[in-house]
Amino acid sequence: MPTSETMPVPLAQLRRRNLPAGAALGWLAAGWRDLVRSPLTSLAYGTLVFGVSVALIWGLFALRIDYALFPALAGFMVVGPLLAIGLYQKSRDIEDGRRPSLMRMVFVRAESGAQVWFTGAILCLLMLVWMRAAVIIYALFFGLRPFPGFDGVLTMLLTTPQGWGMLLVGTTVGGLFAAFSFAISTFAIPMLLAERTDAFTAMGTSISLVWNNLVVMLAWGAIVLLLFLVTVATGLIGLIVVFPLLGHATWHSYRAIR
C-alpha cells in the first residue's frame, strides 16, 4: 500500500508556495535593488518605454481617434509584461553574476526563441480586442454620438444614467480582460526568457501559478495597478522609474513562485 512518502504530490500543491501578501513588498524591494545597480541601464530602458508611449498617444490624437486613449492606457497593462522583457534580462544577468548591459536588455535572446514573440503577439491581439470591446460598449450606451472630447466625456460619464452604466459595464469588462492577461503573462514572459518551453505551456503554467498563489498575487496586482495610476497622474513621466521598478520586481516574483 503506498505511503505518504511514495504517493505523488498533486501538481497544484507543487505550485502553491503559501506566501503571505507581504511577500509582494519584498519583490518590490528586490526590484529596487536591481534598479539602483547600474541604474542608467534601467532608466534608459524606462525612458525608451516612455518615449514609445508618448509617440503612440500623439498618434492617436493625430489620427483623430483620441476616443481610444483610455482603452489604450488600460491595454498598456496587457502588453506591459512583454515590454519589460529587457528588464527581466538585466535582473537575470545580475543573478548570474554578469554585468548589466543595455545592449543585452534591448536585444534579448530568450531561451525559448521565437515562442516569446508568439506570446507577445497573443497579448497584442488581446489588447486590440479590448480596445474594440471598449468602443462597442461606448456605442451600446451612447449610440453613434461623436466623442465629445475629454472635458465633455467626464461630464457625460459622471452626470448621466448612461454614463454610470457605461462606467459599471466598462470597468467590469476591463477588469476581466486585465485579470486574464495578468494571469497568462505575469510568469509566462519571464519563463520563456529563462526556460526552453513553448508559449501555451508557459501561459498555462502562469495561470496555474497565479491561481495557486492567489493571496500574494492579488497583493502584487494591487501594487502594479497603484503604481500604474501614479504614472498616469504624472503624465506618464513616472514610467521612467516605475516601469523598470515593476519589471525587475516581476522577475523576482517569478523566481519566488516558479
Tell me the pLDDT tens digit for each residue of 151-186: 666 777 777 888 888 888 888 888 888 888 889 999
Nearest to 189 by CA among 143, 254, 241: 254
pTM of the model: 0.85
Distance CA 31, CA 214 (A): 21
Half-sphere exposure of 251 (CA within 13 A, CB side): 27
Residues of the chain scoring pLDDT < 70? 1-14, 66-67, 146-153
Centroid of chain to Cα 102: 21
